[in-house]
Chain A
Amino acid sequence: MGESPDLISDLPQSILENILTHLSIRDAIRTSLLSTKWRYKWSTLTDLAFDEKCVSPSTDRALVETNLVRFITGVLLLHQGPIHKFHLSTSFLQCRPDIDQWLLFLSRNGIKELVLELGEGEFRVPSCLFQCLKLTRLELCHCEFDPPKSFNGFSSLKSLTLHQILVSPEAIESLISGCPLLEFLSLSYFDSLVLSISAPNLMYLYLDGEFKDIFLENTPKLVAISVSMYMHEDVADFEQSSDYNLVKFLGGVPLLEKLVGYIYFTKYLSVGDDPGRLPITYIHLKTIELYQVSFEDANEASPIQLFPLEEESFDLFERDYFEYKLPRLETVRMTDVSGIRNELEFIRFLMGTSPVLETVIVTSSLSDKDARMEMVVELLRFPRVSPRAQLLFLQD
């Protein structure tokens, strides 16, 4: 006949679905125009991702919103079969009843991964979400989250991300403790959060916001912590608590490999009475990164003496141990170093207790060349236990 054979339509369904998942949802739907065989091939895709690029751009926000809603509703109606991943990420949608309907639809279709990043507004998560018990990943942004009393948590949830969510702390606590398989937790943009985290399988913790009090009650498997804490200016609030924050926070994480702290991290940790001995050592700690951490508060009255200044005993974490070691520490990174004593002592401590240390990256915030030179000279003086240690000095 001279007609070339169809190259692609007869490939196995799994390959075609693989191809379609690599296309944007719009391109995938347009394949339904190709031929009779392709007409509904896209409709069994299990992963759907929507954003405002799905519809034509326009300066009229309301129009984009309407079109996007119509598009998503249309796709869901034409879809066949289970939907495992649903990502919606757009600032154009804020609070619409349509979203409730989509969530209801998803809850009936076996949703496993749900990502909802909406625009600033007060979208209240509907109750049907709490019936999606197969959820393994939940990410919510700019929503109001209010679980019903009968809600016991998501038994399969492994990853939870909440960003700027309006929710009561008890609700978060019970949610976290109701998700026994939780491995990744990210809480950001909260106000004055007081939280006690109990998650036996938790491995990655990411905190960002104004936290008043975080107690890692039961997180034995924690591998990486990244904390970006903002504190009220009035430290008086904190002085009242008698528990040493350092213990509360870093006391129960023996497997910790990576510690990342921002801004008020050390200040927060130093609040409270120092009880003396810490129960654990950090034998797995590989990386320490401190960004813009201010060691400035050398005021005697406020308990910021996190890193003691005694020359001989580098007992940062264990007062009575003289042979303290961080056996796996490989990378240390500190920014905004201004050469004050506490900072330099800390670096000296690290360099003196890490036999496999490879890189120490120091970024300075000093503008004065002489001061910077002094600091560099100081740093170079410090004895190094590790033969491969490199001190890299970068400028802001």
Chain B
Amino acid sequence: MSEADMAIIKPEMMMKSYIWLETTDGSIQQVEQEIAMYCPMICHEVLQKGLGAGSSKNCAISLPQRVNPAMLSLILDYCRFHQVPGRSNKERKVHDEKFIRMDTKRLCELASAADSLQLKPLVDLSSRALARIIEGKTPEEIREIFHLPDDLTEEEKLEPLKNLMDDPRIRLLNRLYAKKRKELKEREKLKGKEVEERVDERSVDDLLSFINGKDHKVVKTSKSKKKNKKRKEHKNKVSHNLHSKQQGVQIVDETAASLGGVSNLPSMEEDIFSLKTDSEDGYVDDGMDPVLKEMLDREVEDFARRLNSSWVLSSGQERQPVHFSINGNGATRRLTAFQVMLGSLILLMVFGWQVPEFCGVTVKGNSRVRISGLTGTEGGDEWFDLSYIILDEASDPPKYDNVPADREDLVRDVLSSTLLFPFELQLCISELELL
């Protein structure tokens, strides 16, 4: 059928034969036959409907909805070039590269229109161009380019990455959190809430350095030469009455050791705080083998127990505000593998007691830091995984579009926006999402 028809069509026309095409907006145009027939969909239409199709204005071939006149002319340009048989592959490639340079909106429309006309080479070309646009960009950037709504919850965003690029330390800590959360809930039911304001004056760096100082002796790492250097920097900042904290810090150290295995915690915090993008520096070596895992599990249990006991013992009524000096860096940054990896934990302990209220911070913009506040109460240890709780329960957590240079302020703001201050605070930055 087709060949006979074609044979009849051609000799009848003395000059170039034309086909009439109609787009959904009603406009009709005339196109050379061989160009139009390069599109499989038009070709099928002509062959299926017989001779009359498209041969005059009245019986123009109606094109699918997704082909608007602008796209149609683009597509016809493409066909006009490619339907000439004598072109070399190189020529075609060069033409295609130039052809495909257009803004994203038109690219999407072009892909859509080409698909409805079943012009596979053009669909592939535009898909590849769109893939090149998406490749290597942060989700924020991609959303902006394509005007995608940012309608996933934090949890949902974490899901695939968490599954695929999880860090065993996070899991450990989450397990601990879950346990503590349960205990806290029970305690809440029994005790009721206490409101107290305790603020720890010490800066995060001080605490870090203190821990680092201890860590230096406790932790034996084979690969921490670089990190030792960093720890030394912090050492100078040690100050404060640490006596009452000895025990607690010790526990932290041991936890750090246990949770770290070959612990990189101090350097982890460092990296978080300074938002370094140097993946090598900050990369977590965990060398987890089953034996180590078991050991860690046991340590976690021990730690939990010790926390309970230590907090019971410590009678510290000290009220000191907590300063977190975090060096923020709000510059736009491309996502590195490390940054995506959930690999940073920091444990700091501040003694005292507090209330089962916690703070969380979500900072929008170029970096997101989720700070889980863990608060312990008298005789207890409450650990909360903020990523799941905080966003609902925090009273109006402030949101920032840029990370403030002094993140201390940021955290203070957040803390002040909650009803209660953690006196004994276990600070855990459970994910560093630099998106």
Interface of A toward B, CB cutoff 8 Å: 3-9, 11-12, 14-15, 18-20, 22-24, 27, 29-39, 55-60, 62-63, 66-67, 70-71, 74-75, 77-78
Is B163 a contact of A33 with CB atoms below 8 Å?
A: no
**Stretch of B93-101, B129-137, B234-242 that contacts chain A:** B129-137
Instruction: Tell whether B192 is near chain A: CB-to-CB under 8 Å.
Output: no
Instruction: Tell whether B210 is near chain A: CB-to-CB under 8 Å.
Output: no
Of B115, B151, B279, the contact of A35 (CB 8 Å cutoff) = B151
- In the assembled complex, the Cα of A30 lies from the Cα of B105 at a distance in Å of 21
Is A55 a contact of B337 with CB atoms below 8 Å?
A: yes
Find the residue from B108, B124, B223, B338 having the highest chain A CB count within 10 A.
Answer: B108
Of A11, A56, A62, the contact of B112 (CB 8 Å cutoff) = A11
- Binary interface profile of B, 397-418, with partner A (CB < 8 Å = 1, else 0)? 0000000000000000000000
Which 5 A-B pairs have CB atoms at the shortest separation, nearest pair first?
A56-B337, A22-B131, A74-B164, A18-B127, A4-B147
Instruction: Tell whether B38 is near chain A: CB-to-CB under 8 Å.
Output: no
| Chain B interface helix/strand/loop/mixed | helix
- A31 / chain B contacts, CB cutoff of 8 Å: 134, 139, 142
Of A37, A62, A71, the contact of B287 (CB 8 Å cutoff) = A62
Smallest CB gap from A5: residue in B: B147
Of B130, B136, B163, the contact of A27 (CB 8 Å cutoff) = B136
**Stretch of B152-160, B194-202, B269-277 that contacts chain A:** B152-160
- A67 / chain B contacts, CB cutoff of 8 Å: 165
Is B148 a contact of A66 with CB atoms below 8 Å?
A: no
Instruction: Tell whether B179 is near chain A: CB-to-CB under 8 Å.
Output: no
Among B36-85, those with CB < 8 Å from A are none
Instruction: Tell whether B5 is near chain A: CB-to-CB under 8 Å.
Output: no
- A56 / chain B contacts, CB cutoff of 8 Å: 279, 283, 336-338, 341
Of B124, B130, B161, the contact of A8 (CB 8 Å cutoff) = B130
Of B115, B161, B338, the contact of A15 (CB 8 Å cutoff) = B115
Is B287 a contact of A63 with CB atoms below 8 Å?
A: yes
- In the assembled complex, the Cα of A97 lies from the Cα of B208 at a distance in Å of 41
Of B142, B152, B166, the contact of A70 (CB 8 Å cutoff) = B166
A sample of 25 cross-chain residue pairs with beta-carbon separation below 8 angstroms, ordered by A number, consists of A3-B147, A4-B147, A6-B149, A7-B105, A7-B108, A7-B146, A8-B146, A11-B108, A12-B112, A19-B130, A22-B127, A22-B131, A30-B160, A32-B160, A33-B139, A33-B160, A33-B435, A34-B146, A34-B148, A35-B149, A35-B150, A37-B148, A56-B336, A56-B338, A60-B287
Is A15 a contact of B111 with CB atoms below 8 Å?
A: yes
Find the residue from B124, B161, B164, B340 having the highest chain A CB count within 10 A.
Answer: B164
- B130 / chain A contacts, CB cutoff of 8 Å: 8, 19
Smallest CB gap from B162: residue in A: A74
Is B135 a contact of A27 with CB atoms below 8 Å?
A: yes
Among B276-328, those with CB < 8 Å from A are 279-280, 283, 285-288
Is A63 a contact of B115 with CB atoms below 8 Å?
A: no
Is B286 a contact of A34 with CB atoms below 8 Å?
A: no
